[in-house]
Structure 1
Amino acid sequence: MKITRPGRPPAPSLNWAYFLDVDGTLINIADTPEAVLVDQTLLDLIENLHRASGGAMALVSGRMIADLQSRIKLPQLPLAGLHGLERRDSSGRLWIHAAPPATKSAIKEALAPVLARHPGLLLEDKGLTLALHYRLAPRLAGYVHRFMGRFANAPEQGLELQRGKYVVEIKPAGIDKGTAVAEYLAEAPFKDRRPVFIGDDLNDEHGFAEVNKLDGISIKVGKGVSCARFRLPDVAAVHHWLGEALKGTA
């Protein structure tokens, strides 16, 4: 990866295809996943951009689709959840990439004594993945990464480690935000449009890399090393930039 160059991306176009991360990109990160706030202004922005772009807009998140839907409440909006393991296309069809339930149960059993010893850790069962949050216990970062890495280092399990901001997630290998973007771009209304991916975290690098291959617009939110080609400083700047695409459409 390389450090992105400073400065804003080019002015947005309604002819592009938009793929947007959620936490840290459209909404500010909170101490726990349940504590985030989605206000009406953001809901209006998402709905208006989806409509004005002809439906070529999808949220691509680490959250479950059910979680996203409960907060966004736009049943027609394409959603990719769990870093692409589940994906709802523009026609409403749901696509799933799942890990064996027995494997997930074994990992939860191994984590039980760890959680008992360290109450600052939070295990989030997302159905298809398991995410261990350490935002409330940042001193345990190294321990969490090593412990969760044991499961990803067993090739026969077909699992991999997904690292984020104060979270480590175990998920099926080979599926990520980049593969979700590629799947959308093979379908209407995204097909043959210039792709845009906006994200803030390590797990968004797959999305950046995918749109870079297609001469798309990759935008890193905030600081840090990234392969994204452009940068915006924070969530408010993302809202403002996306809003520019809607000028004159009201």
Structure 2
Amino acid sequence: MAAETRPLPLPPAVAPDWALFLDVDGTLLDFADTPGDVHVEPGLVDTLAVLHGRLDGALALVSGRRLMQLDALFAPLQLPAVGLHGLERRDDGHLDIHHRAPALDDVLAAALALTSKYPGALTEDKGTAIALHWRGAPAAEEPIHEFATSALIDLPGYHLQPGNRVIELRPDGAHKGAAVLSLLAKPPFHGRRPVFVGDDLTDEHGFTAVTCHGGFGVLVGRRQPSAARYALHDPMAVRAWLDDAIAITE
């Protein structure tokens, strides 16, 4: 019998010397059947704007979404942000975007053909990456995994990144931990205590990165094992935690 895992404690209140890195889906926002159906709760944009100011700009979104999607979700706010797990990055007004692999077009066409057979499944074209979702079609999980594994043959330099009812084909060397480290090397993040909040397997790289630099991770949910030190139950709890940070400093 596996040993029982003890629940992680709640995180401390947001401190003014932190560099705060926030995942989006499953962390700030509740999941939806498709990425386009997510809802930004009233007041969240204002909360993020206030915290961004009070942390002297050291607050960034770190997401699997594209930067243009993040900007649309949180408009009119434009925060420092990492998109596509590190393939896109914006800081100090500088935009860094990786280019699309030519072979990805053929893989995308085959992925679209596969997911069209399973109502509720979705192929998401992320430009330099492809994500295959089965949240709305559980029966598609096995064929999607088989397809993604075989597709790597035609995509040298790519790897599979599993997530919460999604798997992505992504270029090697790009993950949330590496992206966080690149931001920590520059103002306004440099010299602050880094804290990463996320829910998914893709966020474990972020937890490890901030822990190695004197910070800690906050897991959203109860998934174990995790490199996070603290936990919050769900996105609602994350939003309440951020709101409390504003109330404390007012």
**TM-score calculated relative to the size of structure 1:** 0.92
AA of the residue aligned to 2:245: A
Other-structure match for 1:167? 166
Unpaired stretches in structure 2, ≥5 consecutive residues: none
AA of the residue aligned to 2:64: G
Check the 8 A contact 1:62/1:82 in 2, yes or no: yes
* Deviation of 1:114 (Å): 1.5
* Deviation of 1:120 (Å): 3.1
Check the 8 A contact 1:47/1:74 in 2, yes or no: no
Other-structure match for 1:95? 96
User: Residues 76 and 70 from structure 1, CA distance in 2 versus in 1: closer, same or farther, beyond 3 angstroms?
Assistant: closer
Residue 84 (str. 1) matches residue 86 (str. 2): yes
Separation (CA, whole Å) in 2 of partners of 1:94 and 1:103:
24
Partner secondary structure for residue 117 of structure 1: coil
Other-structure match for 2:16? 14
Q: CA RMSD in A?
A: 1.9
Other-structure match for 1:47? 49
Check the 8 A contact 2:63/2:84 in 1, yes or no: yes
* Deviation of 1:52 (Å): 0.8
* Deviation of 1:103 (Å): 1.5
* Deviation of 1:43 (Å): 0.7
Other-structure match for 2:151? 151
User: Residues 201 and 127 from structure 1, CA distance in 2 versus in 1: closer, same or farther, beyond 3 angstroms?
Assistant: same
**TM-score calculated relative to the size of structure 2:** 0.92
Separation (CA, whole Å) in 1 of partners of 2:6 and 2:128:
32
Unpaired stretches in structure 1, ≥5 consecutive residues: none
Separation (CA, whole Å) in 2 of partners of 1:135 and 1:112:
16
* Deviation of 1:74 (Å): 4.2
Other-structure match for 2:200? 201
Which piece of structure 1 moves more, 227-236 or 60-69? Answer: 227-236
Separation (CA, whole Å) in 2 of partners of 1:7 and 1:240:
16
Residue 32 (str. 1) matches residue 41 (str. 2): no
Which piece of structure 1 moves more, 54-63 or 116-125? Answer: 116-125
* Deviation of 1:171 (Å): 1.0
Separation (CA, whole Å) in 2 of partners of 1:49 and 1:88:
18
Q: Deviations along 1:9-36, whole A, 9 cap, x unmatched? A: 1222021000000011001001111111
Separation (CA, whole Å) in 2 of partners of 1:198 and 1:170:
23
Check the 8 A contact 2:104/2:155 in 1, yes or no: no
Check the 8 A contact 2:103/2:155 in 1, yes or no: no
Check the 8 A contact 1:197/1:207 in 2, yes or no: yes
Which piece of structure 1 moves more, 206-215 or 175-184? Answer: 206-215
Which piece of structure 1 moves more, 182-191 or 205-214? Answer: 205-214
Separation (CA, whole Å) in 2 of partners of 1:116 and 1:31:
15
Residue 64 (str. 1) matches residue 66 (str. 2): yes
Identity %: 44
Separation (CA, whole Å) in 2 of partners of 1:248 and 1:20:
20
Separation (CA, whole Å) in 2 of partners of 1:165 and 1:174:
21
Other-structure match for 1:181? 180
AA of the residue aligned to 1:93: H
